[in-house]
Amino acid sequence: MIELNRLTPQAVSLDPYRWAFVDGLFSANDCAELVKTFPRDHFKTVEGYDGEKGYYYESRSLISMGANAPTHCQSLSSAWKNLAEDLLSVEYRESMSRLSGVDLRELSIEANVFHYGRSAWLGPHVDLPDKLVTHILYFNDAWDPEDGGCLTILRSRDMDSPVKIVPPIVGNSVVIVRADNSWHAVSRVRERCRSSRRSVALTFYRPGSLSTMWPEGDVTPLHNYTGERSALSRFVRRSWHQMIR
């Protein structure tokens, strides 16, 4: 399903660190099926501040850390099962190794599906040192950059220092090779936006790494994504409840 010939070293930019914008990842038919059947099951809400970045979004596991099969496979469409199989393939690892300049063939991977609904965002940050290379793939059939939700490659932690702004259109993707200056962010989705920003992030980890998205013992309740709530509405409700206590 993935057009592996698009994952080439020629796509790599060194400004301001090693990263690549890769488009045309899927055929037109596969684009349509992936958009149509984008997962809505087994999500959890992820929100908070970790000392460096604020964040709010919905996440679902596609491939658990070190697994050799997709997560919750029974609820995935044929298109999404095929995509997961591609991401698990030797051929994909070899293509990503050539593109990134990092030997990824024996490393553990984890892949997660994301909905960024109204007012969702991911603040400027550098990935954890355990995350050697991350490939972010997008699955919206249309997107207005004025609605936010765009990955922004940054020169610094300042959102006003963009190098590249990438809309989440299906077939677009970005590869980030982790460095001490590999700043990036996802701009806040506007409250008026009628669709979630939809993506998958696949990460290659250093040996011995543990999942931060799905830590051992995590008992967070899972739910179907409906898109009916937003970060702003959650904040208003929480503030109101605190006022009336």
Integer angstrom CA distances of residue 225 from 58, 68, 90, 102, 104: 8, 25, 32, 35, 32
Q: Which domains does the chain have, with CATH numbers?
A: 4-244 (2.60.120.620)
What's residue 33's pLDDT? 98
Of 94-108, 121-135, 201-215, 222-236, least confident by mean pLDDT is 222-236
> Encoding tokens for residue 153?
């490659």
Q: Whole-angstrom Cα distance, residue 67 to residue 164?
A: 33
Mean pLDDT of 136-164: 96
Alpha-carbon distance of 183 to 131, in angstroms, equals: 13
| pLDDT, tens only, 75-123 | 999 999 999 999 999 999 999 999 999 999 999 999 999 999 999 999 9
Angstrom CA distances, 52 to 127, 141, 178, stand at: 10, 32, 16
**Residues 121/54, Cβ–Cβ less than 8 Å:** yes
pLDDT of res. 60? 98
243 pLDDT band (50/70/90 cuts)?
very low
pLDDT digits (tens, 9 = 90+) for 34-51: 999 999 999 999 999 887
Collect contacts of 44-49 with beta carbons under 8 A, ≥24 apart.
Answer: 44/220, 44/221, 44/222, 44/223, 45/220, 46/213, 47/231, 47/234
What is residue 241's predicted lDDT score, i.e. its pLDDT? 34
The count of C-alpha atoms lying within 13 angstroms of the C-alpha of 93, restricted to the half-sphere facing its C-beta, is 14
Q: What count of other Cβ atoms lies within 10 Å of the Cβ of residue 158?
A: 11
Q: Identify the band that residue 233 occupies on the pLDDT scale cut at 50, 70 and 90.
A: very low
Q: 100-139: string of b/e by CB count within 10 Å (b at 16+)?
A: bebebeebbbbbbbbbbbbbbbbbbbbbeebbbbbbbbbb
Confidence class of residue 245 from pLDDT cuts 50, 70 and 90? Answer: very low
